[in-house]
């Protein structure tokens, strides 16, 4: 709990922070593994969120459109999602973050203001920290 | 109703998204609006107008069981609507400049 809070604070002060902003740092191998693990969790979360909300057919269309190729690149993912879903993109992003936070044990508040990029960065930091602690 | 309009209705709010997920994960679910609200961790007040939208579009249906009004997923209509959404998304180009 305390650790998560520290990570969240670190992410807020450095919203564009990357792996280097994780306290204590990681070796390049650990960094690679953590990045890979986060990417895998994120893509499976996006698949689950879209599939559960809009069904398998829609998910297949999105996969063939290459949406999931950029799930780890929040700006690009955001851009594609908006092109496809218009105003609904924000709802899908919230659903992805809610699911991701649940998986990583991060509190999600649907009443709070929402920033997809910052939320992903927070999740990434927590994922990296957990990887370091394991 | 076009695929794009269906999509806008289905993803009109976070609560509506939560309702879709709930019913897609539990396609046999039959419950009151109060019960549905509890299942997604919301209040009845927050959910009632969102359920109404899904009733209008036809994803959900309503019927009376004893003294209670219950809602449930219309699987055939849901399939039909999501098919229309999928066909609409096939026509949208997302490749191009970053």
d(CA A85, CA A113): 20
The range of the structural domain enclosing residue B73 comes to: 3-85
pTM for this structure?
A: 0.81
Which pLDDT band, with edges at 50, 70 and 90, does B59 fall under? very high
Return the structure tokens found at B17: 């998204």
Q: Pick from B16, B82, B92: which is nearest to A84 by CB?
A: B92
Residue B98 within any structural domain of the chain: no
d(CA A94, CA B61): 26
Residue ranges of A 36-75 with Cβ closer than 8 A to chain B: 49, 52-55, 57-58, 60-62, 65-67, 75
Query: pLDDT tens across B24-34, in order?
Result: 999 999 999 99
Number of domains in chain B: 1
Residues of B whose CB is below 8 A from A110: 14
Report the complex ipTM.
0.86
Residue B97 within any structural domain of the chain: no
Which residue, among B12, B22, B13, has the nearest Cα to B72 in the 3D structure?
A: B22
Domain CATH for B65: 1.10.10.10
Residue B33 within any structural domain of the chain: yes
Residues of A whose CB is below 8 A from B18: 95
Q: Pick from A58, A79, A91: which is nearest to B14 by CB?
A: A91
């Amino acid at each position: 709990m305390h650790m998560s809070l520290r990570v969240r604070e670190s992410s807020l002060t450095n919203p564009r922070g990357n792996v280097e902003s994780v306290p204590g740092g990681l070796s390049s191998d650990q960094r690679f593994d953590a990045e890979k693990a986060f990417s895998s969790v994120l893509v499976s979360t996006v698949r689950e969120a879209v599939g559960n909300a809009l069904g398998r057919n829609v998910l297949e269309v999105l996969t063939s459109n290459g949406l999931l190729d950029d799930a780890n690149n929040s700006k690009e993912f955001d851009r594609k999602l908006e092109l496809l879903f218009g105003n609904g993109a924000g709802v899908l992003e919230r659903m992805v973050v809610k699911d991701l936070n649940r998986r990583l044990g991060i509190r999600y508040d649907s009443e709070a203001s929402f920033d997809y990029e910052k939320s992903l960065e927070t999740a990434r930091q927590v994922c990296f920290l957990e990887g370091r602690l394991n | 109703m076009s695929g794009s309009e269906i999509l806008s209705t289905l993803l009109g709010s976070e609560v509506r998204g939560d309702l879709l997920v709930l019913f897609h994960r539990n396609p046999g679910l039959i419950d009151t609006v109060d019960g549905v609200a509890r299942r997604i961790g919301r209040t009845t007040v927050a959910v009632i107008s969102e359920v109404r939208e899904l009733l209008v579009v036809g994803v959900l249906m309503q019927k009376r069981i004893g003294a209670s009004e219950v809602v449930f997923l219309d699987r055939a209509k849901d399939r039909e609507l999501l098919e229309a959404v999928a066909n609409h998304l096939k026509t949208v180009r997302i490749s191009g400049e970053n």
